Structure formats: C-alpha cells, structure tokens
Structure 1
Amino acid sequence: MMDKTTLKKIMPFATDENIDKFLPHLNDTMATFEIDTPMRQAHFLAQIAHESGSLRYVREISSGKAYEGRKDLGNLMPGDGPKFKGRGLIQLTGRINYSAFNDFTKKEYNLLEHPERVEQPDLAALVAGWFWNRNKLNELADQDQLLKITKKINGGFNGLEDRTEHLERAKSVLLRGK
C-alpha cells in the first residue's frame, strides 16, 4: 500500500488535497491490476503524474473538437469528439474506449450517456489501471521500457522529458528508498 508521504515524494507538485482524494483509489487500482512491484508502480505513477499534471487534471483541457469524426476512436456521431474527450488519470479518449471501459464496469455508470463520471476520483484511477492492464503495460514496466509505455499511452513521445523525470523520482523512492 502506497502512503501519502511516498506519493508526495513521487509527485512533489501534487497538492495534499489531491493526494488525499486519489490515494485510496490508486491503491485499490494498483491492487486490482497487479501493479504490485516497485518497478510497475514507478512506471504507473510516473505516467499518471505526467498525464494528470500531478493529479490536477482528470479532464483534457482542450475542447475535444480535434477528435470529432475520428473513426479510429469510434467517434461517428456528431458531437462525439467533445463528448468523449480525454478523461481520467490516464486519459480515456473516444467513444470506442468509453464503450469498452463501460463494459468493464458492467455498465454500472452509464458512461456513454454520462462520460463526465470518469472524472470522479474512483473512476479516474480505475480507468488508468484498466488502460494499463488492457495494454499489457505491467510487462513493459517489468522490462523498464519507458519509451514503449509512453508510446502506448500517448501514441507518441509527448512529454517524454517530464515522464522521465517522474520515473526517475519514482524509482528513487520506490526502488532505492530515498
């Protein structure tokens, strides 16, 4: 179980309020998806730190209009781009991905009608773990493959320097106990 002090060392720019809000859900998510070794946790938390701006954002800042009509994301209906823009601690994007996560939750949250629910702390953390698991990122974390993990999450290498800094800090805390 991750404690508040450890998470604060990994994400020094996260507010105490946000750490308190997300920490129990991150712990549940890491247990659920076997993100259970220091290396796996270091990679997972480093990516979350970048993607969420150290737990500040659970919704993409842009409008989502750039995703309008993107068939690869399943955005076929008018308004799907903004409706299914990135949400969660690792940004869930596109109707097809919301639908898959909705199925995973057994449609309990009706996410296709209420995608904003992914912004709730429990679902924001859960979707990050679900994405991590779905893309077999534990295996890449075990091999310390930052570039491959980043590519799976981002589709490219956006923010690589920041992701690297977070990873080095997380490894220092989790693997070396500093």
Structure 2
Amino acid sequence: MADLKLGSKGDAVARLQALLCLAGLDAKPVDGDFGRGTKAAVVACQAANGLTPTGIADEITQATIGMDGEDKTLTPDPVIANVDEVVVRNIFPNATSAWNIHTHLPHVLAALKGADMDDRDLVLMALGTIRAESEGFEPIDEGKSKYNTSPDGPPFGLYDPGTNIGKNLGNLYPGDGEKFKGRGFIQLTGRSNYRRIGEALGIGNTLEEDPDRANEPELAAKILAAFLDNKRRMIKYAILGRDLAQARKLVNGGSHGLDRFEETFRKGEVLLAKKDDDDWLTG
C-alpha cells in the first residue's frame, strides 16, 4: 500500500477517512482529499496505537485501521426486492399522494437495477436524494428562488452565462439559465450536465435539445441513477464513514435538503433492517 499524506487524493484517501471515522476519529469530510483534518486524525490514530505520530498513513498505519482487509464497499448489499410502496410511504411523509409513489417507484427501482446499483447504500442514497429535491416523489421543475434569480433579473438569471454559477454549469447563451434549470428527481441543472448525462444514457444530445424531457418519469429515473453512478465510489465511502453531509454534497454541491436527506436515509436503514428480520411491513 502506498503512503497517504497531505496532498494525496482519490479513492484510497476516501477509504482511509471512512475507516478513521469508523474508529471514532474525526476525518470528515470523507472527500478523498488528504487535508489537515485527515492528518490530525491519522496522528491521533497513530498515537492511540503506539505508533510514531507522523501524520503520514504508511502501510502499518493503514493496516491498523483495516485497510489491508476486504473493502466492504465493493460488495453490494441487495435490497431492491424489499423496497416497496409501504417502505417508501413510511419515509416520504409529505408525498402529495400514494399515486406518485405507486407510479414512479417502479421506474426508480428499475433504473437503479439497470445501472447495477441494487445496493442498500445506493438505493437509500437515491431515495434520500429524491426526498431532498422533491418531497412529493415526482420529477419536478426547479422553482425560482434567491439562489437562482436576482430581485430585478430574469428568471434563473443567476445561472446565465456571465455568472460564476452559469460558467460552472456550462451555460453558453442568455436564457440558458432558465432553459437548463433543475428538473427531474435529482434536479439536473446546467447545459453541460444535460449533455453529459444524455451521452451517458446513450441518447446523445436529446436532453440538451429538449431539456423538458428530464421530467419524463422513466427518463428522470435513469438520469438519477446515471448521476449517482458517476459518483458511486465516493458516495459509498462517505456513507461508510457515516458522513451523510458529504454524500449529499456529492450530488447537490452543498447542503440543500440535508435534513430531509439524512432523515430519509436513517429511517430507511431501520425499516429495511426490520423488513429483513421479519418482513413486518405489510399492507
């Protein structure tokens, strides 16, 4: 195992951070970036285990926290067979109707399964993301807010070219902010994301040419799965380290809806564990 130290980046660092967190040491955020917080956690780990506190996670330090063992994030924990309307109704208390769950849940589960994401953490990540973005369990348009529209500006003008946000979203022309506003279960936002996800789904520039299609339920579910799939390794490590805030940030870029996301994820864990035990959820 290569040494990990200040400036190191990548999956190995994220796994190190997650395992340090599991050992009761604060290495958050679990983001794959070895910064000063991670170094402090490594120093604490080394001191607690009689090792020289260098702050460099060498082979011995890594073995001490289990990095020489199986990486459990690589072994899926299938749960889709146990995710039904009853489970989802219990974790979506503000769903506008049971019809939404009945109609859209099959698309979401099919998309996750099709992306080889039948795994407890990834399924709960998807459900938590939907609740954070659309409590009604339906694909929706992003609403105007102070985060996307200035008081005297055009709708979603803060996403237009000429702004830092618009530049980061790959928007090119005036009006792109509104044209490529958030849509779907995951609030896909920005011209570059519409293009990238369309290419990932094998539908070319369909989404870029007709962005409203991101709200079509079956396609919205596939977009959700594709977006999460692109970040699955880092999501899995963040969840392993119980850093749900970082898992949310990997999707949203911030903390919008974090309280709903965390509540959904944790309640879902409990419900699925009980369902595994005795299939108590019926009707």
Q: What's the TM-score, normalizing by structure 2?
A: 0.58
Distance (whole Å) between structure 2 residues aligned to residue 54 and residue 93 of structure 1: 19
Distance (whole Å) between structure 1 residues aligned to residue 135 and residue 236 of structure 2: 25
Find out whether 1:11 has 2:92 as its counterpart: yes
Find 1:64's aligned residue among 156, 162, 185: 156
Distance (whole Å) between structure 2 residues aligned to residue 29 and residue 142 of structure 1: 21
Find 1:151's aligned residue among 221, 239, 249: 249
Percent identity over paired residues = 33
Find out whether 1:161 has 2:259 as its counterpart: yes
Query: Once the 2 structures are TM-superposed, how far is the Cα of residue 88 of structure 1 from its aligned partner?
Result: 1.2
RMSD over aligned Cα, in angstroms? 2.0
Find 1:102's aligned residue among 198, 223, 237: 198
Residue-by-residue CA offset, 1:36-95 (whole Å, 9 max, x unaligned)? 222332222112111112314521112432211111111011211100011111111100
Distance (whole Å) between structure 1 residues aligned to residue 103 and residue 205 of structure 2: 20
Query: Once the 2 structures are TM-superposed, how far is the Cα of residue 108 of structure 1 from its aligned partner?
Result: 6.1
Residue pair 2:132, 2:257 contacting (<8 A) in 1 also = yes
Find 1:80's aligned residue among 148, 169, 176: 176
Query: If you compute each CA radius of gyration, which structure gives the higher value, 1 or 2?
Result: 2
Give the count of matched residue pairs. 178
Find out whether 1:125 has 2:216 as its counterpart: no
Find out whether 1:36 has 2:134 as its counterpart: no
Distance (whole Å) between structure 2 residues aligned to residue 91 and residue 81 of structure 1: 13
Aligned to 1:25: 107
Moved more, 144-153 or 95-104: 144-153
C-alpha change, 1:140 and 1:54, in structure 2 (3 Å) is: farther
Residue pair 2:107, 2:221 contacting (<8 A) in 1 also = yes
Residue pair 2:131, 2:137 contacting (<8 A) in 1 also = yes
Query: Once the 2 structures are TM-superposed, how far is the Cα of residue 3 of structure 1 from its aligned partner?
Result: 1.7
Gaps of 5+ in 2: 1-80, 145-154
Query: Once the 2 structures are TM-superposed, how far is the Cα of residue 138 of structure 1 from its aligned partner?
Result: 4.9
Distance (whole Å) between structure 1 residues aligned to residue 217 and residue 89 of structure 2: 17
Residue pair 2:235, 2:250 contacting (<8 A) in 1 also = no
Find out whether 1:50 has 2:132 as its counterpart: yes
C-alpha change, 1:151 and 1:60, in structure 2 (3 Å) is: same
Query: Once the 2 structures are TM-superposed, how far is the Cα of residue 142 of structure 1 from its aligned partner?
Result: 5.1
Q: What's the TM-score, normalizing by structure 1?
A: 0.89
Residue pair 1:40, 1:142 contacting (<8 A) in 2 also = no
Residue pair 2:201, 2:226 contacting (<8 A) in 1 also = no
Distance (whole Å) between structure 1 residues aligned to residue 200 and residue 125 of structure 2: 23
Find out whether 1:111 has 2:203 as its counterpart: no
Residue 274 of structure 2 aligns to a residue whose secondary structure is coil
Residue pair 1:60, 1:91 contacting (<8 A) in 2 also = yes
More relative contact order, 1 or 2 (CA 8 Å, 6+ apart): 1
